[in-house]
Amino acid sequence: SASHGGGVFVYNGTFTMNDSASISNNSASFGDGGGGGGGVFVGDGTFTMNDSASISDNSASHGGGVFVGDGTFTMNDSASISDNSASHDGGVFVGDGTFTMNDSASISGNSASHGGGVSVEGGGAFTMNGSASISNNSASFGDGGGGGGGVYVYNGTFTMNNSASISNNSASLSGNSASYGGGGGVYVKGGTFTMNNSVSISGNSASYGGGVFVGDGAFNISGGTVYGGNDGILSNESNKDSNASAALYLAAGTAEYGTKENRNYIITLGNRRGTTIKVVNETAEAPKARLGKLIGAIGGFDGADIIVNGKDTIGIQAPVGSTLIVDANGEYIYLESTFPMQTIVKCKVTSGKRSLIKKGMKVYLKP
Q: Can you state the percent helix, strand and coil of the chain, rounding each to 5?
A: 5, 50, 50
- Residue 164 CB contacts under 8 Å (≥ 6 apart), including other chains: 101, 128, 129, 130, 131, 132, 133, 199
**pTM greater than the 0.75 cutoff:** no
The 8-class DSSP code of residue 355 comes to G
- Residue-level pLDDT, tens digit, the chain, 367 residues: 778 889 999 999 999 999 999 999 999 987 655 678 999 999 989 999 999 999 999 999 999 999 999 999 999 999 999 999 998 888 999 998 999 999 999 999 999 988 999 999 878 999 999 999 999 999 886 544 558 889 999 988 999 999 999 988 888 754 433 234 578 888 888 889 988 888 888 878 877 677 788 777 788 777 777 764 322 222 223 455 444 434 565 555 555 544 433 333 344 444 333 334 443 333 223 333 456 789 999 999 999 999 999 988 898 999 999 999 998 876 778 899 999 998 999 999 988 889 999 999 999 998 7
Burial of 33 (0-12, 13-18, 19+ CB in 10 A): exposed
Q: First CA to last CA across the chain, in angstroms? A: 53
Strands (E), 224-313: 225-226, 240-241, 248-250, 253-257, 267-269, 275-279, 294-302, 305-310
